[in-house]
Structure 1
Amino acid sequence: MVGPALSRRSSSVRRAVALVCALVTVLVLGACGEGLSPEFKDPVAAAPATDSPVTVTGAADVPPVLEYEAPLTVTHDRSQVVWPGVGEVLTDGDPVLLNMYAEDGRNRKIVQDTWVASPRLLRLDPADVGDQLYEALLGQRVGARLLVVSTEEDTLTEASGTMPLVLTVDVLPTRASGTPVTLAEGEPQVRTGKDGIPTVTVPEGDPPSELEVRTVVRGSGAQVEPGDLVTVRYVGVKWSDGEEFDSNWESGSVLTALFGLGTVVDGWEQGLLEHTAGSRVLLVVPPALAYGGTDSPLADETLVYVVDILDTRSAVAADNSSGEGTSAETEEG
C-alpha cells in the first residue's frame, strides 16, 4: 500500500484570501421551539425558561457562529435542528461524517473544531457518538445542521463537576450522491457495491499519455476551488495490472487536503478542480502528474483513481473558526 495521493512537494502553502458570503440562517434555541415546522425533528424537549438562549448563525459551507451570554445556564440537555437535511436518512449503525464545533459554555473556549482540519467519520451508535448525539442524529438526513446543548463531565480542568457544552453538528455525505453518468466503452469502468465502495476495471491496451478526467456521478454541491479544504474518499489502481494500490474505503477513513496549492499530486490538482461536492470523479493520471521522477514504486505507473468529493469549503472560512490545517486523514470511530 502507498499513502494517499499527497504531493511530493512541500505542504507549506499560503492560504487563499477569498471568502464567499452566503445566506445566513439563524436559530434561537429555546426562543423558537414552538415555531418549528412539522418536518423539523426535535428529539429533546424545548429548553426551560430558566436556561440561557443560544443563537447559531452561518451558512452550510462556513463554520457556525455561536452567540450566547457566558457563563451559560443549562439545567436541561436539549437538541434542536438548525436546518433539516435533504439527503439520505441516517439509520442505526450507519457511517456518519460530521463537522463538529463545540465551546465550553462557561468561558466560550473552543473544546472541539473539525472545521480546521477534517470532519470525523464515525458510526451512528451510542457507543461511538454518545447517547444524546445518537438520539439527535437518528432519523435526520444528510445536510442537516444540529445544535446540542448539554452538561458534560469537566475533563478540561482539575476541578470536579460538570460544564455546559454548546455543540453544532453538520452532517456530511459519506459517499457520492447525484446523477449517474455513463462512461464510454474503452475507458476504465466503475461499479458500485451495495456498501457504496467503487471498484475499477481497467481496459486492455496502452494507457493514455495525458490526464483524463471523467465524471461518474455528478453532484450538486459547491465547486472545488483553489485554496479549498476538500474531503474525499478514494480508491486507486494501476493501469498496468488493475491492482489496487491504495484506498481509504476499507480503512474507514476520509482524507481532507488543501487543494490547488500543491498539497496533492498534480493529477488530482488539475483533475478535481471545479468538480462539485457529491460527485464521483474518475482520474487517469500519467506518471508525470503522479509519482514520476521519484523513488516511489509507482514512479513509472499510470494510475487510475476514483474519487468521491464529500465536502469542499474555503480554507479562509476554516481559519476564521479557530486554526489551520493542510491535510489530514481521519479514521472511522
Structure 2
Amino acid sequence: MRRRSLLLAVPAGLLTLAGCGDDKSDKAKTDSSPTPSAAPTGKIVDGPLPAVTAGTKFGEKPTIAKGSGKPSTDLAVKTLIEGKGATVAKGDKLQFNYLGQIWDTAKVFDNSFDRGKAALYPIGVGQLIPGWDQALVGKKVGSRVELAVPPALGYGSQGNPQGGIKGTDTLVFVVDVVGTFSGKSSADGKEVAQDNIDLPKVGTNTDGNAPSIDVPKKDAPKKLVSSYVLEGDGAEVKATDTLLLQYKGVLWDGGKEFDSTYKREELAEFPLQQLIKGWQQGLAGKKVGSRVMLVVPPELGYGDKASEGIPANSTLVFSLDILAVL
C-alpha cells in the first residue's frame, strides 16, 4: 500500500502516519478502526498566516514562507482562491490536494502534489485532524484554503514523531478542494444520444436519484457493450485506478434491480482490477464525470455461478457514474 495521509484520525485524538513506502493503493484502511472520540473545536481567526510565495494557482504545488513571529493559538483560516463549485458538507467524501509544513521551520512534512493524485477522505466526521474538519466544511469546490492549525486541533501534545512534528508545533497547510461527494452525487457530463433500439436506455437525470434503466424485450447481445450516457471531461480511467462510483445494476431478463448504491445512499470505492471483467474492460478509457451504460454477458460477469439476486448465466445491465479516480 502507498503511505497513508498524515491527516487520518485514530482513537484518543491521535493521528496515524504510515511509512513512506511505494505501494499501489492510496486507500486508507479506516473502516476497521474504532470510532474516534469527539474532536475538539476552537475559534476561527483570519491570521496570521505565512505567504504563499510560489505555485499560487489552484492545482500547483505551493511554496509557503516560514511563519513569522508567534502563531495564533486559534485556528487561522484564509480562502486564497474562492471556488464556484459545490459546497462541502459534513460527512461528504472530500477530494483534495494539500501541502503541510511546520510553522517555525517551514519543513514540509507531507504533500499530495508529488504523489500525482488527490486524496479522498470523509470530512467533518473525525477521520481527519480536527482543524481540517472544522475549517473545510462549507468551502466550495475549486477553492484554495490556507490553514494554521494549533497543536490542540492537530496532533495534540504528543505530536507525531514519525512525521518530525513536536507537540508544540503549529502546522500550516494549503489545501485545494478538488471535489466533494455524497450519496446524492451524480455524473455531470454532457448527454450522448442513445439511439440503438436493441440496447437498454438509461436515464440522464443528475439529481442524485437512481436513473431508470429500460431493457428492450429482445435477445441480449453476446459481447460486452460499453457506451456513454453522459460524457464527462475528466481524465481517462486506467486499469490500475481505484474509482469512486455511483451505480445501479439490473438483469437483462426482466429488468429486475439486484444492486444499487443509490438505495444504500453510500458511494462505492473499488480498485478496477478487483471487479468483474465486464467492468474492467468497459470502464477502462472512459472519462471521469461520465455515466456509462454496460451490458455484461455472463462470461464477463458471474458466469454459471449464481450470486445474490443474480441467477447463473445472467446478462447484466449497469448504469455507472464515474465520480472520481482515487
Give TM-score scaled by structure 2 length.
0.62
1:100–1:249 distance in 2 versus 1, CA, 3 Å: farther
Q: 2:216 matched to which residue of 1?
A: 203
Give how far 1:195 is off: 3.2
Give the counterpart of 2:267 among 250, 254, 276: 254
Asked if 1:226 corresponds to 2:239, the answer is yes
Describe the SS at the equivalent of 2:313: coil
Equivalent residues of 1:99, 1:115 under 8 A apart: no
Give how far 1:15 is off: 5.0
Structure-to-structure mapping, 1:14-25, within 5 angstroms: 15=24
Q: What do the CA deviations read for 1:208-250 (whole angstroms, capped 9, x no partner)? A: 1111111000111111123233322211111122222222233
Give how far 1:308 is off: 0.9
Asked if 1:170 corresponds to 2:177, the answer is yes
Structure-to-structure mapping, 1:94-105, within 5 angstroms: 97-99=94-96, 101=98, 103=100, 105=102
Describe the SS at the equivalent of 1:309: strand
Give how far 1:150 is off: 2.9
- The share of aligned pairs that are identical, in percent, is 26
Equivalent residues of 1:223, 1:312 under 8 A apart: no
Amino acid at match of 1:105: I
Asked if 1:189 corresponds to 2:201, the answer is yes
1:155–1:95 distance in 2 versus 1, CA, 3 Å: closer
Asked if 1:238 corresponds to 2:251, the answer is yes
**C-alpha distance in structure 2 between counterparts of 1:303 and 1:290, whole Å:** 7
Q: 1:324 matched to which residue of 2?
A: none
Describe the SS at the equivalent of 1:223: coil
Give how far 1:93 is off: 7.9
Q: 2:322 matched to which residue of 1?
A: 309
Q: 1:134 matched to which residue of 2?
A: 137
Structure-to-structure mapping, 1:1-333, within 5 angstroms: 15=24, 47-48=47-48, 51-53=49-51, 57=55, 67=64, 69=66, 74-75=71-72, 77-81=75-79, 85=83, 88-90=85-87, 97-99=94-96, 101=98, 103=100, 105=102, 109=109, 119-120=120-121, 130-135=133-138, 137=139, 140=140, 142-151=141-150, 153=152, 156=155, 159=158, 164-167=170-173, 168-172=175-179, 174-184=185-195, 185-191=197-203, 192=205, 194-259=207-272, 262-294=273-305, 296-297=307-308, 298=310, 299-312=312-325
In structure 1, the gaps of 5 or more residues are: 1-13, 17-43, 314-333
Amino acid at match of 1:188: P
1:237–1:68 distance in 2 versus 1, CA, 3 Å: farther
Describe the SS at the equivalent of 2:262: coil
**C-alpha distance in structure 2 between counterparts of 1:72 and 1:220, whole Å:** 45
Q: What do the CA deviations read for 1:161-190 (whole angstroms, capped 9, x no partner)? A: 875344424232632112111212342122
**C-alpha distance in structure 1 between counterparts of 2:249 and 2:56, whole Å:** 36
Describe the SS at the equivalent of 2:212: strand
- Aligned pairs, number: 261
Q: Which moved more, 1:273-282 or 1:91-100?
A: 91-100
Amino acid at match of 1:226: A
**C-alpha distance in structure 1 between counterparts of 2:299 and 2:53, whole Å:** 50
Quick check: which one's strand share is greater? 1
Give TM-score scaled by structure 1 length.
0.61
